[in-house]
Structure 1
Amino acid sequence: MSIEVALKGKPKRLAVLDYGLFQVHANNRVIGICGFVIQTDADETVLIDTGFPAKYAQDAEAATIEDDLGSLGRVLSVTTDNMAGPQLAKLGLAKSDVTLMIQSHTHIDHVGDMAGFPGVPILISAAERALPRPLYWSGKQTMDWPGADYALVDADMELGDGFKVLLCPGHAPGQLAFLIDLPKTGAVLLTSDAISRASEVDEKFAGSWNVPLAIHHGDRLMQLASERDALVIYGHSPEQWPTLRKAPNWFT
């Protein structure tokens, strides 16, 4: 069922969730897997992405074989602590506190617990939701769309005062990025995988689902960040991830 959603309050704080580490075979790049929590001054809790499926914390080797993920890379560290529930707990939150879930896109490291929040509406791009199944990784996957109310994004939108959702296809057909205004930090641009790391701009987004679109939206996001003097948090930056403030700490 498609619905419309809007936040009542303004963002008051943002937390980065640690969903584990992955090594990409092509370049041996070690990347962090991140999610985000944004809380508003109206007691709303927004969760962006849920990391790898729980089976990777139980037996990463077996899960990798099942999903044929080994052709992309290998899981270095995904434990039960890197699941959405325990990461929320670091912030003093339970799954039941989440009032809105957002899927930035539907690759395997972002949708693992998408079905784990029954009754919570899911905001997602219309292009991704129109797919028969989430993108996941290989054709062997069996993940289906969870039963939920879906709010569909087909253009840039204001989710609420100080919370912009930006449609940036390129990495994936319906990739989303986010611009959040915080009381003290100011503007924060969450690129998600629209720009996985700063160097991807110079590398011209090689290997993207749609390279020209990825270049276009990467350029516009960096222009927006410059105009707003925004803190940029990249989707999978080997350089930024080790030093990035993470739960239980907040950006305010």
Structure 2
Amino acid sequence: MRLYLLHLGTMQPGDVPVPGYLIQTADGTNILVDSGWPLSAVDDPQNPPGLSVEIKPEDTVIARLEEIGLQPSDIRYLVCTHLDDDHSGNHDLFTSAEFVIQRQHYDLAKSGHPRFAANRAAWDNPSLRYRLIDGDVELVPGVELLETSGHVPGHQSILVRLPLTGNVLLAADAVMHSSMADAETRIIYITDMDDEPTIRLSTQKISDVAKREAAVVVYGHDAQQWPTLRHSPRFYE
């Protein structure tokens, strides 16, 4: 089992990383987690309120996969943590994959919620196949999907069990920064959709799972942690 951390761009101010992840199982199954901002953002930067998005050609999900010898057709599963713009911009490039998403989140996005409208042509492409799940699910041996609603309803995080590194918990936007890891004191941002008790419960769940599994937590957009980690084409195993 290998885990690659994919650098898919930077948001300013603050050098905030936009990550994706590639998990390769021992039997050669490729699992992509999220797909970043749309490829078009390289030449036409996306600038949501308060942010400036910087994406170099080598930061696209296609380029990051190519540097480890993969094409979109090699991806067996694409795990959607959620459908915010910086996580779902290239879903339509992975027509061979099975998309795995929490039912609650998919239903909310499909209902026409404006938060997920910008990338709808990418994530709601008719050629894509979705598997809707409810709650915590083992996707394949060594990869567990954890329901962590809070940032958005139906958000999910990923626990990866690596033979040498040990367990790694990809918190995604359930806990975006190490400073938010304490459920009692974490800041609630305007981008967090659920009510405060739900947000704090998911934050506590990340903490509890990390403690129980002795897992290293990779936070979703941590400008301090990200440079300390091993980025693709290097990997953890």
User: Does residue 21 of structure 2 align to residue 42 of structure 1?
Assistant: no
Q: Secondary structure at the match of 1:109?
A: helix
Q: Secondary structure at the match of 1:226?
A: helix
Give the 3 Å change call, closer, same or farther, for CA 149–113 of structure 1 in structure 2.
same
2:64 to 74, 77, 87: 87
C-alpha distance after superposition, 1:165-206 (max 9, x if no partner): 000000011111011101101111000110001111344241
Preserved contact between residue 173 and residue 220 of structure 2 (Cα < 8 Å):
yes
Q: Secondary structure at the match of 1:115?
A: helix
Q: Secondary structure at the match of 1:87?
A: helix
Q: How far apart are the structure 1 equivalents of 2:218 and 2:113?
A: 23
Deviation at 1:72, TM superposition (A): 3.2
Deviation at 1:103, TM superposition (A): 0.8
Q: How far apart are the structure 2 equivalents of 1:136 and 1:51?
A: 19
User: Does residue 193 of structure 2 align to residue 209 of structure 1?
Assistant: yes
1:225 to 210, 214, 222: 210
Preserved contact between residue 150 and residue 198 of structure 2 (Cα < 8 Å):
yes
2:231 to 240, 246, 249: 246
Q: How far apart are the structure 2 equivalents of 1:247 and 1:134?
A: 35
C-alpha distance after superposition, 1:42-85 (max 9, x if no partner): 1100000010011210121xx43xxxx1x13111x202211111
The residue type paired with residue 61 of structure 2 is A
Q: Secondary structure at the match of 1:172?
A: coil
Q: How far apart are the structure 2 equivalents of 1:182 and 1:21?
A: 27
1:99 matched residue in structure 2:
76
Q: How far apart are the structure 2 equivalents of 1:136 and 1:89?
A: 33
Preserved contact between residue 146 and residue 157 of structure 2 (Cα < 8 Å):
yes
- Aligned counterparts, 1:61-140, within 5 A: 63-64=46-47, 69=48, 71-75=49-53, 77-130=54-107, 131-132=109-110, 137=115
Q: How far apart are the structure 1 equivalents of 2:154 and 2:221?
A: 18
- Aligned counterparts, 1:140-219, within 5 A: 141=118, 143-144=120-121, 145-147=124-126, 148-202=128-182, 203-207=185-189, 208-210=192-194, 211-219=196-204
1:7 matched residue in structure 2:
none
Deviation at 1:99, TM superposition (A): 0.9
Consecutive unaligned residues of structure 2, counting only runs of 5 or more, are none
User: What is the TM-score with the length of structure 1 in the denominator?
Assistant: 0.85
The residue type paired with residue 9 of structure 2 is G
- Size of the aligned set, in residue pairs, is 228
Deviates more, 1:226-235 or 1:203-212: 203-212
Preserved contact between residue 162 and residue 180 of structure 1 (Cα < 8 Å):
yes
Q: How far apart are the structure 1 equivalents of 2:111 and 2:92?
A: 13
Q: How far apart are the structure 2 equivalents of 1:98 and 1:138?
A: 23
Consecutive unaligned residues of structure 1, counting only runs of 5 or more, are 1-11
1:6 matched residue in structure 2:
none
Structure 1 residue ranges (4+ consecutive) displaced by more than 3 angstroms after TM superposition:
133-139
Q: How far apart are the structure 2 equivalents of 1:134 and 1:248?
A: 37
Q: How far apart are the structure 2 equivalents of 1:216 and 1:129?
A: 21
Give the 3 Å change call, closer, same or farther, for CA 187–114 of structure 1 in structure 2.
same
User: What is the TM-score with the length of structure 2 in the denominator?
Assistant: 0.90
Preserved contact between residue 83 and residue 116 of structure 2 (Cα < 8 Å):
no
Percent of aligned positions with the same letter in both sequences? 28
